[in-house]
Structure 1
Amino acid sequence: MKSDVVGENKAKKFKELLDKMWSDYVSANAHSSIEQNKWNKDDSVPLTKDIVALQNHLRTIEDQAIADLRQNVTVSSYKQLSESLLAQVIVFNKKREGEASRITLETFKSADTGHMNKDMKHCHL
């Protein structure tokens, strides 16, 4: 508007730099923060009899797979154990499979271990 050629060139260079670097620095960090906030979201939905029954069933499968592995190590027993444990993590977190399977060790170690849902506190783990 003021016919400032130097200012106009600086603005154009800044816009080019912003377009090139946005996805590397700003967008990736913002997406990562959003995902971590979803994992730490407080959930006040109480446990139901169906979820407790499912958890008990998964524990039964886990115990059987462990007993089978102690007697004879087989791929099917190991697969049963790993699937049972993954399902228990998903049920415990009340989240989709994708979040549980893609969680990083750093995120797991830095998770908030503060306030515990009272229903979870009374659940036998």
Structure 2
Amino acid sequence: MRPRESNRQGRHLASFALLLCAEEPTHGLALHRSINQLLPEGLKVDAGNLYRLLREMEARGTLRSEWSTVGSGAARRVYQITPVGLDELADWHEDIAHRRQAFDLFIQRYDALRCRPATHEHLRNPLNE
């Protein structure tokens, strides 16, 4: 059974939004495109989820926005990270680094397990105690 994609989608969306806004202030559509370019196929982000998150982050004070009329077309809301957002971004970095250590360990042990399938015959035979 494969883990369901819907359980994982968006879990770290805030971390990517903060990271990209720390690199450069940006508007929502450009942020959506950038995040989806970074993420693997099964983890693409829905624009509606991103815009809801941006409003929530602005309410929390991690991002601030201003309307920009630079360029042609309609005005765009440009998001910029705040000092509170930089603190949250550092927390995300720490959390992701710890999770990465755990995931790396899982992958190493799983790969080692696959190298010795004969030792797990007892798992395939329900009558074997």
User: TM-score, normalized by length of structure 2?
Assistant: 0.28
Higher percent of residues as helix: 1
Higher percent of residues as strand: 2
Rg bigger for which structure?
A: 1
